[in-house]
Each structure stands twice: as structure tokens, then as C-alpha cells.
Amino acid sequence: MRKIHYTDSYLLSPYHPVTIFVIGAGGTGSQVITNLARMDLALQALGHPGLHVTVFDPDIITEANIGRQLFSEAELGQNKAMAIATRINSFFGSIWMAESCHYPLGGANNKKEPMLANIIITCTDNIRSRLDLWKFLKEYRNMNVSNEKTPIYWMDFGNAQITGQVLIGNIRNKIPQPASGEYIPMPKMNVITEEVSYSTVKEMDSGPSCSLAEALEKQDLFINSILAQVGCDILWKMFKEGRTLYRGAYVNLDTLRVNPIPV
């Protein structure tokens, strides 16, 4: 029988909008945030409270970002998180938030009351940020309460020039699963740092580009948008159908293939 993961029940019928943190509003993040805005409207049309998103990014918009990322010349010099949250709120009538800083605030050793969300989505381009984030998030694996501050899932996007992957896994240690005669329910899906041994991977921080042409040498024009569509479709089905047979996918633009990662 095939393995399946049933979505945490809190996300399917919460009293408040499901909270989501998107870390990184660049090439992939700007696409993901726009997809989440569409998902928010669709969920509300189905009677769900929808989504409340907070965007984290300390970077400002430069000329090299325009074209490959969802920013315009009118937004040059603005903070990426602030710019895209303002645009989404104006277009969709939402009240999403932005933080012009890294997440978690103050790093993993911050002693203040932490900012938490039900779903954490990372769209960053370096390894250290993922390791620091998991060091912070795994402290909340055994939370028993379910509310807007309960971390449940972590979805990570990563890509090279023409390839990329997306993977969603549990922050919450085990998610209760209903019995099934058709599938094998899986209460746990690994997060990216449990799936990949980053100690053997070289740091691949791409750094800022001086022009769009230079940026396209590092990441092709459509790798981010295709990857964002694939990942958000997995998340959409987890909300709409309450389950998923896939916990991620690999995308290759050279071969035009999307290879799913089964639960």
C-alpha cells in the first residue's frame, strides 16, 4: 500500500486564519507569497478562515531583482518584505505583515517571547540559515496545544540555476493520523535538515548580483516560479483534500521533469 500523510486537523478547521511565516522574499519567495494570496482567497471561498502571512527579509530591492523577482522599478530601494506585503494587501485586501529582518528574531538564542507560526516556509539561499532555524524550531516539537502560535510544518524551497527542490516536513513531533484501509498513514515527515546532511554540502550563498544578466547566470528565469507553483500545489492539496501522497518534488528545467518525493 502507498504511504500517505493526513494534514494536522487544526489547519483544516481553525478558529483563526492559519499563520504562515515566509522567510525570504526574493526569486522564489516573491512567487510563493503571491501564490499564498491566491490560496487565501480560495480557502475563504470554501468556508475556511484562510491564511495570515508574515514576510521576513532584510534586503532592499535593486535593479538586478527586477525581472527575475516580482518587483518593479517603482519599488527600487524599498525593503523586499515591506514592498511585497504592501502590494499584496492593496491588491487582495488582506492585512498581511512584514518584518525587515532575519527570522528567528535575534537568532536561535533570543530570550524574548518567540514569534511563531503554524507553517514556516523558507526561500533562502544559504545553508546556515536552515541550520539555525531548525535549532530554533525543534525546541517546539512537543507542543501539545493547537493555536495560531503552534509550529506544525516547515516547507523549504531550494534551487540552483535550472534545478530545484521543495520539501515539507513536521515541526510537531508526530501528527495523529486516522486509520486507513487503503493507505499507510505516516505521522511524521522529515524536514529538510533531517533529510540532507549539510555537513557534507558546501555553502552556496549566491550573494547579490549587479544586473539581471548576472542574476540569470545563477538562476534561470523560470526556475523560481515553477518551483513555487509545485510547492504551493502540495500545500493547497493538504488544505483542500486534508492529505498528501507527496512531501515534495524535484524540478529540472533542462529535462522538463518534475519528480515527486513520496511520503
What tens digit of pLDDT does each residue of 199-245 get?
655 555 555 556 666 666 678 899 999 999 999 999 999 999 999 99
Residue 108: the pLDDT is 47
* C-beta separation of 60 from 98 below 8 A: no
pLDDT, tens digit (0-9, with 9 covering 90-100), for 158-202: 999 999 999 999 999 999 999 999 999 999 999 999 998 766 555
Q: Is the pLDDT of residue 254 over 90?
A: yes
d(CA 120, CA 129): 13
Quickly list DSSP for the chain.
--EEEEPPHHHHS-SSPEEEEEE--SHHHHHHHHHHHHHHHHHHHTT---EEEEEE--PBP-GGGBTTBS--GGGTTSBHHHHHHHHHHHHH----EEESS-SSTT-TT--SPPP--SEEEE--S-HHHHHHHHHHHGGGTT----STT---EEEEEEE-SSEEEEEEEESSS-------SSSEE-S----HHHHS-GGGS--------SSHHHHHHHS-TTHHHHHHHHHHHHHHHHHHTSEESEEEEEEETTTTEEEEEE-
Amino acid 113: pLDDT: 75
What is the DSSP pairing of strand 257-262 with strand 246-252?
A: antiparallel
| pLDDT of 84 over the 60 cut | yes
Determine the average pLDDT of the residues in 98-116: 78
pTM for the full predicted model: 0.93
Q: Answer for the pair 68, 216: CB distance below 8 angstroms, yes or no.
A: yes
Contact between residue 247 and residue 237 where contact means Cβ atoms under 8 Å apart = no
Q: What mean pLDDT do residues 12-19 have? A: 96
Choose between 10 and 110: higher pLDDT.
10
Q: What is the mean pLDDT of the chain?
A: 92
Q: Which domain holds residue 168?
A: 2-262
The three three-digit cell numbers of residue 105, written as one number: 528574531
Domains of the chain: total: 1
pLDDT at 210: 62
* CATH number for position 176: 3.40.50.720
For the chain, what is the largest distance between any 2 Cα atoms, rounded to a whole number of angstroms? 56
Reported as half-sphere exposure (CB side, CA atoms, 13 A), residue 107 has a value of: 2
Confidence of residue 68 (pLDDT cuts 50, 70, 90): confident
154 in Cβ contact with 191 (< 8 Å)? yes
Per-residue pLDDT, averaged over 101-120, amounts to 79
Question: Which pLDDT belongs to residue 218?
Answer: 75
pLDDT value at 79 more than 50: yes
The neighbouring-strand residues paired with 156 are 122, 167
The per-residue pLDDT for 250 is 98
Give dist(CA 246, CA 156) in Å, integer.
14
**Euclidean distance between CA atoms 57 and 27, whole angstroms:** 12
Lowest mean pLDDT: which of 45-49, 157-161, 193-197, 256-260? 193-197
Query: Do 166 and 155 meet the contact criterion of CB atoms below 8 Å apart?
Result: yes
